[in-house]
Amino acid sequence: MLEKKLLEEARREYDLKRTICLVSDEKQNSLVCDLINYPHAFVLAAIMDRQITFERAWAIPYLIKEKLGDFSLNILYSLSLEDYKKLFNDNKLHRYNEKMAEIFYSAVRKIVDEYDGDASNIWSDKPSSALVVSRFLDFDGVGIKIATMATNILVRDFKIKLSDYYSIDISPDVHVKRVFKRMGFIKSKDINNLEKIIYKARSMNPDFPGLIDYTCWKLGKDICKSQNPKCSECLFNNDCPKYIDNNDF
215 binds ligand SF4, rule: CB under 6 A: no
Q: Which stretch binds ligand SF4 (CB under 6 A): 12-20, 23-31, 177-185, 190-198?
A: 177-185
Binding residues for ligand SF4, rule CB under 6 A, total: 14
110 binds ligand SF4, rule: CB under 6 A: no
DSSP state of 30: H
Task: For residue 154, give the 3-state DSSP assignment.
Answer: helix
5 binds ligand SF4, rule: CB under 6 A: no
Q: Which stretch binds ligand SF4 (CB under 6 A): 26-34, 64-72, 74-82, 179-187?
A: 179-187
What is the smallest separation between the CB atom of 17 and ligand SF4, expressed in angstroms? 26
237 binds ligand SF4, rule: CB under 6 A: yes
Which residue number, 68 or 231, has a Cβ lying nearer to ligand SF4?
A: 231
In the 3-class helix/strand/coil scheme, how is 210-232 assigned residue by residue?
A: HHHHHHHHHHHHHCCCCCCCCHH
User: Distance from CA of residue 99 to its chain's centroid?
Assistant: 20
Task: For residue 136, give the 3-state DSSP assignment.
Answer: helix
Phi/psi at 129 (nearest 5 deg)?
-65, -35
Would you tell me which residues interact with ligand SF4 (CB under 6 A)? 179, 182-183, 223-224, 229-231, 234, 236-237, 240, 242, 244
